Amino acid sequence: MSQAPSILIVDDEQGILDTLRILLKNEGFDITTAQGGKAGLEHLRASAPDIVLTDIKMPGVTGIDILAAVKEQDPETPVILMTAQASLQSAIQAVNEGAFHYVQKPFSNDEIVALCRRAAEVRQLKAENKQLRQEIRRRERSGLVRPLGKSRSFEEVLRLVEQVAPTESTVLIQGESGTGKEVIARYIHELSTRADGSFLSLNCGALPESLLESELFGHVKGSFTGAVRDKQGLFAAARGGTFFLDEIGEMSPATQVKLLRVLQEREAIPVGGTEAIPVDVRVVAATNRNLEDDIKRGRFRSDLYYRLNVIAINLPPLRERRDDIAIFVSAFLDRIAVERSEPPKRLDAEALEAVMHYDWPGNVRELENALERAVVLTKSETIDRAAMPDRVTERRAEPVVAERQHVNPTLDVIEQAYIRWVLDNEGGNKTRAAEVLGIDPSTLYRKLSRYDGTEKPGPEP
C-alpha cells in the first residue's frame, strides 16, 4: 500500500463525490472519483485502489456490481457501501457476502472518516500478513539457514547483514580467503527483496581480462576471434537478482572503468556493441585485499571503490572467532557423514584441542578440508590427533624475544623469555623444563614466582 491509502469513490451524484473528495483528502487519503457505476468499473480496470467507497443504488451498474468486480480483481480490497433506507437490506446482504461495511445515508463526516481509516488499517494488516506468509513459504522452499557462528564478532556481522539485506545498497564484503564471503553474499540475497531472482557469482581473478569482460557484459557476434554468435553477459542474466563479484581487487583497470559505468548508469554495453542494455541487479562485491592500499599504489580506482563500498562488511578470520570452531567441526563432520552415507565421526579430546589452538590461516575452508582428510584416514568412529594434518598438531615455537621488545633487552628480559619458551615446549611440565634449563626445580619455581607472583616454590607432583 502507498504511504497515503488510495480510495476510489463511486457515486452517481456529483455533489456527494465533491464532498467526500474534499473531506477524505483533508484526512490524508489519495482520492479518485468516478461518477456512476460504469465509470467506476473503468477506473478499477485501470488501477488498483486500496479502498473502494461506493453507493449501492446507481442506474445501470450498481454498487453490488462494483463489489463483485473488486472481489474478482483483489479479494483483499475493502469495499464500503453507502446506502439509503430503501436499499439497506441489500447492503446488509452484501456485507455478508464480503463487503467491508456499509454506512447509511445521511452519514456524519466522523463516521465515514472512521470507517475509511479502519478499512485502511485492515488492508495494511492483510498486506503485511500476505507478505509474511510469502516470506515463510520462500524460506521453506529455499531452506534458508542462518550462517554458522555464535561468537560476538560474527553476531555483529550477521546483525549488520540482516539490517542491510532488504535494501538495494551495494555491499562490499572484506575478509581473508576462506572466511565465507560467498556464504554471506548468498545470505544477503536470500533476505533481500530479490530473493526470488537469480544469484550469480563470478571470481574476477579466475579469468583473463578479455574473457572477463565478455562474461560480465556479453559480446556481439564478430567482436573478436571466436565470437560466432551474440552472447548475453552475466549482468543481463542476473536481471532482477543479485550479482556477486568475488575478488574484485583482481579486476584490471580497463574493466574497472566499465564496471563503474554499470554502477553509475545502470546499463552495460556488450563487447563490440554500441547499444546499452539496461542493468537491474544488486551488486555484492568481495575482496581479500586491502583496496585502500591498492588505490594508493594506483592498482584500484578510488571512484569505483566508493561506489562499491556503500555498505562495508568485514568478516573476522577464524582465529578471531575461536568460539565458532567447535560449531564448525560438528557441522562439517555431520555433512561429510551424510555425503559418505556413514555415521558421523567425532574428534577425541586431543584432536579437538589441537584444532581449537591452531590459527587456521586458510580459515573455514582450511578447517573443512582438514576434517574431510581426517575422516577419510580414520576407520574408527573417533578421530585422533594423528589423523589431523601435521601443521595443525605440531607445537609451534614462539620467538625467544618478542618482536616488540626493546631494541637492547636486558639479560633479565631474555632469561624470562627463554624460560617461558622452554616451559611451553615441555607442555608446562616444570620438572622437565628445569632439566632442559640445567637448574633445580626449586630454582625454576622461584624465578617464575618472581616473574608473575603466582607460582609457589615446591616440588612438582
Number of alpha carbons in the 13 Å side-chain half-sphere of residue 378: 27
Instruction: For residues 229-256, give the mean pLDDT.
Output: 90
Residues in the chain, total? 461
Report in angstroms the alpha-carbon separations of 14 from 9, 29, 31, 85, 442. Answer: 11, 19, 14, 20, 107
| pLDDT for the residue 456 | 43
Cell reading at 398:
614462539
Number of H-type helices and E-type strands within the chain:
19, 16
Is the pTM higher than 0.75?
A: no
Write the pLDDT tens digit of every residue in 20-67: 999 999 999 999 999 999 999 999 988 889 999 999 989 999 999 999
Instruction: For residues 338-343, give the mean pLDDT.
Output: 89
Instruction: Tell me which residue of 385, 388, 395, 363 sits closest to 373, measured CA to CA.
Output: 388
> How big is the CA angle at 105 (ends 104 and 107), to the nearest 5 degrees?
85
**Cα gap 198→169, rounded to integer Å:** 17
Write the pLDDT tens digit of every residue in 354-366: 999 899 999 999 9
Residue 454 has pLDDT above 50, yes or no: no
Residue 278 has pLDDT above 90, yes or no: no
Residue 300 has pLDDT above 90, yes or no: yes
* Domains 6-128 and 152-314 are alike in CATH topology: yes
Of all residues in the chain, the percent with pLDDT exceeding 90 is 47
Residue 149 has pLDDT above 60, yes or no: yes
Residue 348 has pLDDT above 70, yes or no: yes
| pLDDT for the residue 406 | 47
Among the residue ranges 11-15, 34-38, 145-149, the one predicted with the least confidence is: 145-149
Write the pLDDT tens digit of every residue in 385-410: 999 999 898 865 555 455 454 455 66
Of all residues in the chain, the percent with pLDDT exceeding 70 is 88
| 458: confidence class by pLDDT, cuts 50, 70, 90 | very low
Instruction: Identify the CATH number of the domain defined by range 152-314.
Output: 3.40.50.300
Per-domain boundaries in the chain: 6-128, 152-314, 319-393, 398-461
Query: What number of other Cβ atoms are within 10 A of residue 101's Cβ?
Result: 16
Write the pLDDT tens digit of every residue in 84-102: 876 778 778 888 778 888 8
Write the pLDDT tens digit of every residue in 187-241: 999 999 898 899 999 999 888 887 888 888 888 887 776 666 778 889 988 889 9
Instruction: For residues 304-325, give the mean pLDDT.
Output: 93
Which fold would CATH assign to domain 6-128? Rossmann fold (3.40.50)
φ, ψ of residue 8 in degrees (nearest 5): -100, 120
Which fold would CATH assign to domain 398-461? Arc Repressor Mutant, subunit A (1.10.10)
Instruction: Identify the CATH number of the domain defined by range 319-393.
Output: 1.10.8.60
| 460: confidence class by pLDDT, cuts 50, 70, 90 | very low
| pLDDT for the residue 228 | 66
Instruction: Tell me which residue of 35, 26, 29 sits closest to 7, measured CA to CA.
Output: 29
| 133: confidence class by pLDDT, cuts 50, 70, 90 | low
**Cα gap 216→209, rounded to integer Å:** 11
- What average pLDDT does the structure give for the chain? 85
**Cα gap 454→64, rounded to integer Å:** 89
φ, ψ of residue 310 in degrees (nearest 5): -70, -50
Strand, coil or helix: 257: helix
Helical ranges in 238-377 per DSSP H: 253-265, 291-296, 302-308, 325-340, 349-357, 363-377
**Cα gap 210→456, rounded to integer Å:** 70
